[in-house]
Chains A and B, each alone.
Chain A
């Protein structure tokens, strides 16, 4: 049973389109995240949610809108996709808010904008 699962695993789309990535965790964790990994493998936080509340928005363009319908889900919607949005997006969760617990990651969604 997958702990953090995200769909789809691969996403190829044209510039200007809108797309969503879904994430679900079955670990009972309070905190969920989106991270972006660029082509050089650099990983950076995008958003952090605690109990469905947005805690961190790390200067991400407004075209990216996360939504957390409940503690177990954190979806990412991207409007007007640009070439520079091509990356691997990772969803993650951790037990609590506060920095002291490890995050468990989904398998990643490789987004390619053409």
Chain B
């Protein structure tokens, strides 16, 4: 069964702090895909990254970085030097070939205060 767990319900940081959002997934398949989405207060869902199960390389995009570890079934997201504009709900999601749907975690609300 597919499952995504985001144990951190809400995280509060002060601007310029680094913050890591945790994501743990469960799947029986050896091929799968992991995603992160951002939902700012305006409500839309913004795609951030896709990672397939064969690519364990970490990725960095500006202040964002992702750490994928198959050994611990985790796909964590770090924001470096957080900014107020990073305040949002962040969702981790999983999909498998043949199951054309995203299974989302419950989301982590990040509050960045000035």
Contact = CB atoms under 8 A, between A and B. Distances in A.
Interface string A87-114: 0101010100111111111111010000
**Residue among A31, A56, A102 having the largest count of chain B Cβ atoms under 10 Å:** A102
A23 to B, nearest CB: 14
Contact of A104 (B47, B95, B97, B104): B47
Contacts of A98: 97-98, 100
Interface residues of A, number: 31
A17 to B, nearest CB: 23
B95 A100 contact: yes
A40 B105 CA distance: 12
Contacts of A44: 104
Contacts of A106: 44
20 contacts: A33-B101, A40-B106, A41-B39, A41-B89, A41-B106, A42-B106, A43-B102, A43-B104, A58-B101, A90-B45, A98-B100, A99-B98, A99-B99, A100-B95, A100-B97, A102-B47, A104-B47, A105-B45, A107-B43, A108-B43
